Amino acid sequence: MRLAACLAAALALTGCQTVRDTLGSPEPNPGPCPNALSLYDAHRLVEIEGDDPVFENVGFTGEILDVASRCRYTDRQASPIDVSMAIRFAFGRGPAAEGREHTYNYFVTVTRRDTAVIDKQVFPITVRFDRDEDRVLVTEEFDSIRIPRAEADTSGANFEIIVGFELTDEQLEFNRSGLRFRVDAGQGG
């Protein structure tokens, strides 16, 4: 009998904790988060030293490996959507790269899906390659990207967050050609 009373008390306390957690947790988002993605034509950067696009002429390279995001509607009114985002990069140092440090520029753009750019910002990222490194992985994090909403029923699905490298016309043409260079090509393992 005493054991049953203890078990009943433990279950009651556990039940209260579950109810408290449920009641105390924030409301679910009233709509979906904006898509966050890398622009295919600008998700990689290959610097070619000279006119001939051969492996020996590859300088510094960069690639956006992944874009992950979470969002929160601050309330059910027409308030902004707060988005946190992480971009995972891989940077390379090819045979024609000079120096151990290189600054890359990438952009983060918020758009009204398929219609208009709301905001675009360019960010520099400086990467240091140690003596024995030809590749470096870096994750850049953004804690709060605020996306305005005109109406309370404007969904996050109406927006996109697009990231990519700032490219020259030649780099963009190279990306669109389908050619690829990998720093680790031929390094068995």
pLDDT tens-place values along the chain, 189 residues long: 443 444 333 333 333 444 334 334 456 666 789 999 999 999 999 999 988 888 889 999 999 999 999 998 877 776 888 999 999 999 999 999 999 999 999 999 999 988 899 999 999 999 999 998 999 999 999 988 999 888 888 889 999 999 999 999 999 998 998 877 654 544 544
- pLDDT value at residue 125: 97
Per-domain residue ranges for the chain? 29-177
Residues 6+ apart with CB under 8 A from 89: 62, 63, 64, 65, 104, 106, 125, 137, 138, 139, 140
pLDDT in tens, 32-52: 899 999 999 999 999 999 888
Q: What is the CA radius of gyration of the chain?
A: 24
Cα 124 from chain centroid (whole Å): 15
The answer to whether 48 and 113 have CB atoms below 8 angstroms apart is no
Q: How far is CA 66 from CA 54, 138, 140, in A?
A: 27, 11, 11
3-state secondary structure the chain: CHHHHHHHHHHHHHHHHHHHHHHHCCCCCCCCCCEEEECHHHCEEEEECCCCCCHHHEEEEEEEEEEEEEEEECCCCCCCEEEEEEEEEEEEECCCCCCCEEEEEEEEEEEECCCEEEEEEEEEEEEECCCCCCEEEEEEEEEEEEECCCCCCCCHHHEEEEEEECCCHHHHHHHHHCCCCCCCCCCCC
- pLDDT value at residue 114: 83
Which residues share a beta bridge with 46?
61
